Amino acid sequence: MTELKNDRFLRALLKEPVDVTPVWMMRQAGRYLPEYRASRAKAGDFMGLCTNPERACEVTLQPLERYPLDAAILFSDILTIPDAMGLGLYFETGEGPKFRKPVRTAADINALKVINPEQDLPYVTGAVRTIRRELNGRVPLIGFSGSPWTLATYMIEGGSSRDFRQAKQMLYNQPEQMHQLLDILADSVIAYLNAQILAGAQAVQIFDTWGGALSHQAYQEFSLRYMKKIVQGLLRENEGRRVPVILFTKGGGQWLELMADTGAEALGLDWTTDIGLARQRVGQRVALQGNMDPTILYASPSRIREEVGNILKSYGQGSGHVFNLGHGITPEVDPEHAGAFIRAVHDLSAEFHR
């Protein structure tokens, strides 16, 4: 077991003292980086990167070569689980992911089986092992999955959606079918994340990208319930260390207290929730991750630095904060602006940890 040279990300998730606030970016290995675009061109397409452990490792490490980030995140996609279930994932240029066989009927759901990650997604666990080896203890590695509700929306709609008409129709008209599907997905996510942890992931994040599209009651019944099941089913220690879990519901600021009840170590915030108020609400129960508006990165470096300072002041003194964007970095961002953001977090945060 290689000793971590920089473990402030893991320490902050456990609310242990750190010297500066750790920072990473959702989608930090992505199209805003010219080196990523070159790697993707060589691979032929996005899935060509995801399904090749060496290429996935290459792009995972690219942002770490540019920036003093405090964590690496596995390069993959949230839709690997439904793809492994045989739904035929493909990507249309300009339209995002699509499935050739959407899940719409009881028969479709009955045909699904809980995945075996080492058999069905060996390229993911292979990538985790390769990345851990190449990181050589530089920073921790984050594994991840989509939430059951988020995965279900893509599977039922057959791709992205604005209003989730088909998924919500099933949720309200055939709730027992929806629960059956979500149970299969929750069990698959547990197996998938545990396989990532055993392969070397040192923290995991559950991306509930579309939980915020649900009503208050529906969120608790059809999204949060299954994320809680996942948290309870995960390996929480590996390599002699706690493996923290981060829950991130985009648009989920109203449910922070309920999310903290799941047993996760940290909650991700989008930019619509004030992080200082969020800290008051959850107290010492969980760490918080976030939450700068990604579009601030289109502003000048001085304005980016000012916004970083505002968020640090809002969170206040002490550990328990992992700085991040409130959602993924966008492809048009100038890489220099991303660098200014990361430097500002380290420069300005030391005073909050004295």
27 carries a ligand binding annotation? yes
- Sign for the CA dihedral angle at 77, 80, 82, 86 comes to positive
Closest of 103, 136, 166 to residue 5, by C-alpha:
136
Candidates 32, 36, 67, 154; catalytic one: 154
Has 40 been annotated as catalytic? Answer: yes
280 carries a ligand binding annotation? no
Candidates 7, 70, 77, 270; catalytic one: 77
Candidates 7, 8, 36, 40; catalytic one: 40
154 carries a ligand binding annotation? yes
Treating both helix axes as pointing N-terminal to C-terminal, what angle do 122-135 and 175-199 enclose, rounded to 10 degrees? Answer: 40
In angstroms, rounded to a whole number, what is the distance separating the alpha carbons of residues 172 and 152?
14
Tokens describing residue 302: 């001085």
- At residue 61, what is the residue type? L
315 carries a ligand binding annotation? no
Has 165 been annotated as catalytic? Answer: no
287 carries a ligand binding annotation? no
- At residue 188, what is the residue type? S
196 carries a ligand binding annotation? no
What burial class does residue 176 get, using C-beta atoms within 10 Å of its C-beta: 0-12 exposed, 13-18 middle, 19+ buried?
exposed
- At residue 259, what is the residue type? M
In angstroms, rounded to a whole number, what is the distance separating the alpha carbons of residues 172 and 62?
44
Candidates 27, 104, 241, 285; catalytic one: 27
Closest of 259, 188, 269, 180 to residue 225, by C-alpha:
259
The answer, yes or no, to whether the previous bond of 291 is cis (omega within 30 of 0) is yes
30 carries a ligand binding annotation? yes
183 carries a ligand binding annotation? no
Has 67 been annotated as catalytic? Answer: no
Q: Which are the contacts of 132, defined by CB distance < 8 A and separation ≥ 6?
A: 141, 199, 200
303 carries a ligand binding annotation? no
- At residue 249, what is the residue type? T
- Residue 117, φ and ψ in degrees, nearest 5: -60, -40
Has 31 been annotated as catalytic? Answer: yes
C-beta of residue 294 within 8 angstroms of C-beta of residue 325 = yes
Q: What is the largest CA-CA distance in the chain?
A: 59
Binding positions for substrate are 27-31, 77, 154, 209, 327
Catalytic residue list: 27, 31, 40, 77, 154
